[in-house]
Structure 1
Amino acid sequence: MGPSAVKAVFWDLDDTVLDTLSGRADALTATYEEIIGERPDARELWRMHLGVTIEALAKELTGNDWPRFVERYRAIYYASKEPLEPYPGVVETLEALSSDGLDMAIVTSKISWGARGELERAGLLDYFAAVVGWDDCARPKPAPDPLLVAMERTGQKEPAQIAYVGDVPTDVQAARAAGCRAIGASWGSLDPERLRAAEPDLLAEHPSAVLAYVRRSRRPIA
């Protein structure tokens, strides 16, 4: 295994590991109607604001009333008891990477306690050595800060030996800024063409492509 081998895989959460769009859209619709008084196209709002925190979205929608919007959104969203489903192939890929001895972490624009709770509900938390949310660092993605925090928490020293998997251009930008490899998760992306245009090192149509990429990098050098 040479110096170019991937030794850790960091993952975004929403639209990459877990299919949370329906719940997020429902919570955004209910909050928007309650506070703004209109019914939005919630899925389009998420598509237009790919990768942003709910705080950033609320500030754009409501200005100074954003704390109330965020509080209400989270109350509605996290009260949901709907099952949380990983995308097809995610569990198998996580299991294989774990068996191969790779460290893994979640790096998300969600608040960390919310992300950790969702992973626990989905039965996936034990796969990850760290869960890093926007509240764990000074700047969210596309800044490199969340990835650097994940590196520190997982004991990784070489960013070039880390692959970061995410569904939006800001994930690719954060990986580049941190010196990590960028893998685009087109299987869950709301805008695959924008993801492609960000030029990740790999545009994966299925989680199994992540496993194949990592294993190729770890083959012994002849």
Structure 2
Amino acid sequence: MTLAEGLKAPRAILFDWDNTLVNTWPTIVECYRDTFVALGRKPWTAQEVQDFAHGSLRDLFPSLFGERAGEAEKVFYETFYRIHLERLQSLPGAEALLAHCQSLGCYVAVVSNKVGDNLRAELTHLGWQKWITRAVGAKDAPRDKPAPDPIFMALDGTGIAPDDGVWMVGDTLADLKCAHAAGCLPVLVGGAEQLSEALMEYPPRLRARNCHELVALL
């Protein structure tokens, strides 16, 4: 993990959802595979999905499928609704991390590019409402991550301003861009040893490999 000098304890922590608190890559890979096949395209490999499937579908699918974006989204969600709850798994240490945040008195919310209703269904399925005050997903705000709108929505009414006392924790470039755009403290979680050139343009202030290291940072 990497620490930054001069940082104070956060007043609020905003978490990405997919592959930050829960492991959803197997579900996402299968949804993309079915979508590509249905539209007569060669499916992405699992690694290609992890490399390129960032952003909300409403932002990503028009560039991938053009005028067939609506058809592609329909296929994607047919697979998604069939499998997403039964395959949902919390990442190791995620529950302990959320409980620790609550014990510190932090305001905790989720800011995700998963459609808001689906995000909240998964949160309820895991019983995590006891730790997470608000969950903002794709299509809840006027724009999705990497735009700052979801962060502003997550903080609306709390009296907490988006500054270094608000951590935006996530595993992708979209999370870092969103944090920088909103003026929050960007925290990168994941196993990458080297930051890509794209990530270097929006550098994290803190880094941790997993939920256990995030507890240690706090």
Shorter chain as denominator, the TM-score bin is 0.7 to 0.9
Q: Which residue of 2 aligns with 1:173?
A: 177
**SS of equivalent residue, structure 2 residue 164:** helix
CA distance in 1, matches of 2:169, 2:114: 16
**Superposed, which structure 2 residues align to 1:55-204 within 5 Å?**
55-80=58-83, 81-187=85-191, 193-194=195-196, 197=200, 198-204=202-208
Structure 2 length-normalised TM: 0.86
Pairs aligned (count): 210
**SS of equivalent residue, structure 2 residue 23:** coil
Identity rate, percent: 26
CA distance in 1, matches of 2:217, 2:87: 30
Deviation at 1:46, TM superposition (A): 2.6
Q: Which residue of 2 aligns with 1:52?
A: 55
Deviations 1:164-221 (A, max 9, x none): 100011211111111111110114x7x963386342011101213323333xxxxxxx
- Greater share of helix: 1
Deviation at 1:3, TM superposition (A): 9.3
Deviation at 1:45, TM superposition (A): 3.8
Q: Which residue of 2 aligns with 1:220?
A: none
CA 69–192 in structure 1, closer or farther in 2 if over 3 Å, else same: farther
CA 29–192 in structure 1, closer or farther in 2 if over 3 Å, else same: farther
Deviations 1:96-136 (A, max 9, x none): 11122111000011110011111122232332111111212
Deviations 1:60-113 (A, max 9, x none): 222111112112211211221533111111111111111221110000111100
Q: Which runs of 5+ in 1 are unaligned?
A: 215-222
CA distance in 1, matches of 2:162, 2:69: 38
- Greater share of strand: 2
CA distance in 1, matches of 2:51, 2:209: 21
Q: Which residue of 1 aligns with 2:3?
A: none
CA 55–44 in structure 1, closer or farther in 2 if over 3 Å, else same: farther
Deviation at 1:153, TM superposition (A): 4.9
Structure 1 length-normalised TM: 0.85
- Counterpart of 2:54, as a letter, is G
Quote the RMSD (CA, aligned, Å).
Answer: 2.3
CA distance in 2, matches of 1:192, 1:43: 20
CA distance in 1, matches of 2:56, 2:91: 22
Out of 29, 43, 49, which is 1:25 matched to?
A: 29
Q: Which residue of 1 aligns with 2:216?
A: 212
- Counterpart of 2:133, as a letter, is A
CA distance in 1, matches of 2:132, 2:96: 14
